[in-house]
Amino acid sequence: MDSLFRRVALALVLALPMATPSFAQQKLKYPKPEPEQIYDAVGQPAVPVGGVEAYGQYLADNQQYPTAALQRGATGTVEVTFVVEKTGVISNVAASKPVDPLLDAEAIRLIKGGPKWTPAQHKGQKVRQRVSIPVSFQVPLGAGGAAPQTEPDATAGAPSKPANVSKSGATIIAPDQPARPVGGTEAFFEWIQKNQQYPTLARQRKIEGRVMVEFIIQKDGSLTDAKVVKPLGSGLDQEALRLIKMAPKWTPATYQGQALKQKMVLPVLFQL
């Protein structure tokens, strides 16, 4: 009997070391994430509701280039870091790589006002994730001096080596002096703001943003051929055109002492 008991006890003692590692391994396979931990790397990252492409379109459509920053020619890419919570809302939004105070503030506004996210998952559970998004600010083409256009037979002093020829046959050259507002860029934007009449419909709908307007600066400095290339609607497009058409004259672009026509694209900002 004692011999049998010793054999059973010895079998249990030998079996326990073999069973214990298996049990421990099973427990460690799916450990519960810490409830408040913020993860940088996860098994299934958080994504914007609607997809990445739609989110990028949201950023492009809703970006409002600060007027003062545009006047100063401030550009760059602001990296914004935030936390996607387990509910899909975002928190702790901050400019982790700031560029300019006004651009930083606009980038933060964009991210805070964006759509919800599908939260991250890690080891089978929803978790909080830290995400970084770059928000780029570039002065629109033409805002700092677009390539002027002149008809080949319109000016006796047409250049002998044009930089390019457009589909319409116009000679496109780089000016010695690009067109610029009389009194400076800052004065021009101040005039726009002072004379802007916010459309009633847009105000009622609380629509803000920028209308991109293309126009020609003639050799006498007058602004003509204005057209909207990026509309907002609700009367804002018409108001932007009105402002450009009645704006003060510019100093025209010149090449080798000769005045040239110049095409320009500028944003007209509307903010409530």
Tell me the pLDDT band of 184, cut-offs 50, 70 and 90. confident
Q: Which two tokens stand for residue 216?
A: 């020609």
pTM to 2 decimals? 0.47
Cα–Cα distance for residue pair 162/46, rounded to 1 Å: 51
Of residues 212, 200, 209, 90, the one with CA closest to residue 139? 212
Cα–Cα distance for residue pair 270/254, rounded to 1 Å: 32
Encode 33-51: b = buried (16+ Cβ within 10 Å), e = exposed.
beeeeebeebeebbebeee
Q: What is the mean pLDDT of residues 77-100?
A: 94
Cα–Cα distance for residue pair 205/270, rounded to 1 Å: 13
pLDDT for 265 beyond 60: yes
- Which comes out higher in pLDDT, residue 247 or 123? 247
Q: Which two tokens stand for residue 22?
A: 């298996």
Q: What is the mean pLDDT of residues 46-69?
A: 83
pLDDT for 108 beyond 70: yes
